[in-house]
Amino acid sequence: MDLVRDLLAFVDAGPSPAHVAAEMGRRLEKAGFSLLDERQRWKLEAGDQRYVVRDGGSVIAFRVGSASPSDRGLRLVGAHTDSPALRVRPRPDLIRHGYRQIGVEPYGGLLLHTWLDRDLTLAGRIAVRSADGGIEMRLVRLQGAPLRIPSLAIHLDRTIRSEGLQLDPQRHMAPVWATTGDGSEPDLLSAIAEELGCPADAILGHELVAADTQPPALGGAEEEFVFAPRLDNLLSCHLGLHSLASAPRAEVTQILICNDHEEAGSTSAEGAAGSFLEDALRRIVSALEGADPQAFAMTTARSWLVSADAAHAVHPNFAERHDAEHQPRLGGGPVLKSNANQSYASDAGSSAWFFARCADAGVPMQHFVTRADLPCGSTIGPLTAARLGIQTVDAGAPLLSMHSIREQVAADDLEALASALGAHYQAPAGE
């Protein structure tokens, strides 16, 4: 249960990808990892515990093994720091019908209706001009619940009962910030400047998301569930970090990669389609093995990656949306995700690897495939495998309410997935 409650604290500390990366850095420092700078030369030796952050939202942490990477390969766990959300537009302030509102746009495939009638705040990072003329990136999280997206009363649209709720993200999702009369209410950037203690004209840019203010909680008849925002995929970031920090030193080098921008397709400098992981791995291999031109390819050929993203648990009210033979349930253990068209990276070899790691950890394993008549989502797994040529398996904890503002997972599945990831980090190098 300590692991479960620690997840609640981790999720609460991470309302935006920038906050997640900062919290990971804090925890890594506490566990004995030290920060590397991409702008500096890296000098590494066996036993080193280091981490690096790119653009404030993506994190790579690693522990250098006692054997050379080209001889024993790497053990990697992948996750992502971002979640579906409403992101604030560059010019955020709207004045409409006596209300001051905040302009937002959907980020990722969020379930829009779940954001209605929630107590919301804004969080993210702000670019501020410093006193010396440079640019400083600062985190912000507005206090209280300054935002809300009110539902339309059924009396004003009774077709909701017959036709369902139809939401236009351009017209219907702008949160209410204040009433406006004499214009004395603060605009958004003025409120942020007050929170940061800087002049409003010092703010040069922002990356802000709306976030639920209701804290994560335990629920269910015996507190067997976690109800929380952003479990996809802060759950895997947390468990990957926990498993890496608690894994014993080994021959193989152990790595955690948590990318930003997965929910938007991963096409960015710090996303899984970008160069962040490849750059870091090449530098690790080079720092440990010198200029051998074949060392990197030998390393990736001996490596294994678990792409740990959330899996779809069967919904008791919509069980027909699952393939009849592949219906993972909450509390049933980690889920191996497969797709014939490579939306997931799992193949026979990597699936066997993960099955063996679950067996090593003494935890059950479940299976998920999308119905043949439904489209399949994807993860960082296929992108990373294609870019680096590393054997990759897609797996994760089963969720309900995926991409809702609040999601649901079984507490037992957290312990089980952490054990499987720990076994992955400790697997014998010869396998």
Tens digit of each residue's pLDDT (9 = 90 or more) over 239-289 = 999 999 999 999 999 999 999 999 999 999 999 999 999 999 999 999 999
Token pair belonging to 360: 């090593």
Per-residue confidence (pLDDT) for residue 430, from 0 to 100? 54
Q: What is the pTM of this model?
A: 0.96
Task: Give which of 13, 159, 163 is closest to 81, Cα–Cα.
Answer: 13
Per-residue confidence (pLDDT) for residue 429, from 0 to 100? 61
Per-residue confidence (pLDDT) for residue 214, from 0 to 100? 97
Per-residue confidence (pLDDT) for residue 112, from 0 to 100? 97
Round to whole Å and give the CA distance between 186 and 194: 10
Task: Give which of 351, 343, 346 is closest to 378, Cα–Cα.
Answer: 343
pLDDT tens per residue across span 45-76: 999 999 999 999 999 999 999 999 999 999 99
Task: Give which of 45, 47, 2, 54 is closest to 25, Cα–Cα.
Answer: 54
* Contact residues for 422 (Cβ-Cβ < 8 A; gap 6+): 243, 246, 247, 361
Per-residue confidence (pLDDT) for residue 178, from 0 to 100? 92
| Residue numbers of the chain with a pLDDT score lower than 70 | 1, 181, 183, 429-431
Q: What are phi and psi of 255, to 5 degrees?
A: -135, 140
Per-residue confidence (pLDDT) for residue 391, from 0 to 100? 97
Token pair belonging to 365: 């394993």
Residue carrying structure tokens 């010869």: 430
Per-residue confidence (pLDDT) for residue 132, from 0 to 100? 87
Per-residue confidence (pLDDT) for residue 25, from 0 to 100? 98
CA dihedral 371, 260, 236, 337 (to 10 degrees): 20
Round to whole Å and give the CA distance between 276 and 278: 6
HSE toward the beta carbon, residue 328, CA cutoff 13 A: 29
